[in-house]
Structure 1
């Protein structure tokens, strides 16, 4: 196996450290002073801290340890070791850095607590580790029962917020759900970025001029699948060979691509799919023209 370039190691380490600091800030300046919660293992740790007054720095490390060990078998040992280091770093951050409370306004706490928590978790994921082991548990459980990973995580979080509602009141639980939602959206933004990529598939009888426009005008790389079109209800036995064109654009370019294709063939069939991560090939990192 090829060794990871040193520059990548430095980048991942700095990303993880920044993630730890953001998570520590979210917890000590927003969530903990106002008895708010998040989802996952972090939510469980906050709940234990509030109910039993155990130091959050210890709880968050101990709660993640079984899942980190599980991660060594479910994912790989490198991921588990990185996650262990990150979680211990978060524990040290919570124990020794005195972040001052920022606000007691519940709406501000729920929104910005979630934003900073999401930034922290997202940066840690970009660094190749996790600050919350709930997805490892979901992955482990997914292989033994028929539920999806998302359904398992949702079920665990419902239990956390129900306990919070019973023990600390419904308003606190509802605001905490808003915190979790905000954090989830922020994590997606940090990981995927503003220019989330979209896969576009085009089926048309005018594929040749469409291919030329995509490459020469949009500057995109294309992949061609050989297919057949036709098979209509009233003429099922009639079909024609066609080129199915696939390309990847940023979501900011989808409308321009649609307009360009429909100007060539108004009957062209176009469908899109979200791509979580794309690298290599002919990809523009920024859109410079619309």
Structure 2
């Protein structure tokens, strides 16, 4: 079996597992308790509660315009995969007999969001989307000065305000917690435990630090040429310095800092989160889209 076939099977497993998790979140937690989420799923749940239309049909129909839009904004392949994914979710909601887990509002808002986030995150790793809100945001982005995050936030604020009017403020507030939990779960599933961190190190002992990073931690490094000094009391005094850059997982940050401070306790170390990284000597594979 070649690598392409393995990738297709892996993506299929991601998508099917994601659909099952989303179905579990909807039928086991959110729908029986009149809770909802953000995005197109939230709109579908609102329509279901207000007009009592079967949630399976509503989710499919609500996503169709955005799937068509996705064919132009992203790619036709993405749109077809997303269409198949959404239809499978509708079938899952119609025929899989999920049990109702709990009616406790706090448990519903937290674990409904967790399972929904896991499902959406897994489907995204499989190369499709169970919620078309990002496609709508991309479409709006080209016609406004707002960022994608601002557009999504604005859409969700409208959803929660409508829900507060029709379903009551407590339900809307609990559902905001569901949305937050789901968004964090999506991030966790997509980024994983090995979320990467960029590290920059400025030190007069950069040669020894390079040696520790490469030989003891097995890290690849990049070196920028810079200057240090420029203090208020001695602004004209400055020296050339190598600025060492490397990428580590967040679990390695503490170990790296300890090794740097063994060499130079006064070293300036600053970090920033990387959303995606691939290539070089990174061991983690690049995700397929």
- TM-score, length of structure 1 as denominator length: 0.93
Q: Where does structure 1 lack aligned partners over 5 or more consecutive residues? A: 286-290
What corresponds to 2:190 in structure 1?
Answer: 191
What corresponds to 2:149 in structure 1?
Answer: 150
Please give the alpha-carbon distance, in whole angstroms, between the structure 2 residues aligned to 1:237 and 1:72. 58
Deviation (angstroms), 1:170 = 0.8
Deviation (angstroms), 1:47 = 0.1
What corresponds to 1:182 in structure 2?
Answer: 181
1:44 aligns with 2:54: no
What corresponds to 2:136 in structure 1?
Answer: 137
Q: CA RMSD in A?
A: 1.6
What corresponds to 1:105 in structure 2?
Answer: 104
Please give the secondary structure, in 2, of the residue aligned with 1:210.
Answer: helix
Please give the alpha-carbon distance, in whole angstroms, between the structure 2 residues aligned to 1:43 and 1:72. 22
Cα displacement string for residues 242-290 of structure 1 (whole angstroms, at most 9, x for unaligned residues): 22111111111112211221221222221111012233333356xxxxx
Please give the alpha-carbon distance, in whole angstroms, between the structure 1 residues aligned to 2:234 and 2:7. 57
Please give the alpha-carbon distance, in whole angstroms, between the structure 1 residues aligned to 2:283 and 2:204. 28
Please give the alpha-carbon distance, in whole angstroms, between the structure 2 residues aligned to 1:225 and 1:5. 38
- Number of matched pairs: 283
What corresponds to 1:288 in structure 2?
Answer: none
What corresponds to 1:204 in structure 2?
Answer: 203
What corresponds to 2:287 in structure 1?
Answer: none
Q: How does 1:120-135 map to 2 (within 5 A)?
A: 120-135=119-134
What corresponds to 2:31 in structure 1?
Answer: 32
Please give the secondary structure, in 2, of the residue aligned with 1:145.
Answer: coil
Deviation (angstroms), 1:104 = 0.9
What corresponds to 2:238 in structure 1?
Answer: 239
Please give the alpha-carbon distance, in whole angstroms, between the structure 1 residues aligned to 2:241 and 2:74. 41
Please give the secondary structure, in 2, of the residue aligned with 1:89.
Answer: helix
1:166 aligns with 2:165: yes
Cα displacement string for residues 73-121 of structure 1 (whole angstroms, at most 9, x for unaligned residues): 1111111111111111111111121212111111111111111101100
Q: Where does structure 2 lack aligned partners over 5 or more consecutive residues? A: 285-289
Please give the secondary structure, in 1, of the residue aligned with 2:204.
Answer: coil
Q: Which runs of 4+ in 1 moved over 6 A?
A: none
What corresponds to 2:21 in structure 1?
Answer: 22
Please give the secondary structure, in 2, of the residue aligned with 1:278.
Answer: coil
What corresponds to 1:53 in structure 2?
Answer: 52
1:273 aligns with 2:275: no
What corresponds to 2:85 in structure 1?
Answer: 86
Cα displacement string for residues 59-79 of structure 1 (whole angstroms, at most 9, x for unaligned residues): 111111111111111111111
Please give the alpha-carbon distance, in whole angstroms, between the structure 1 residues aligned to 2:239 and 2:78. 49
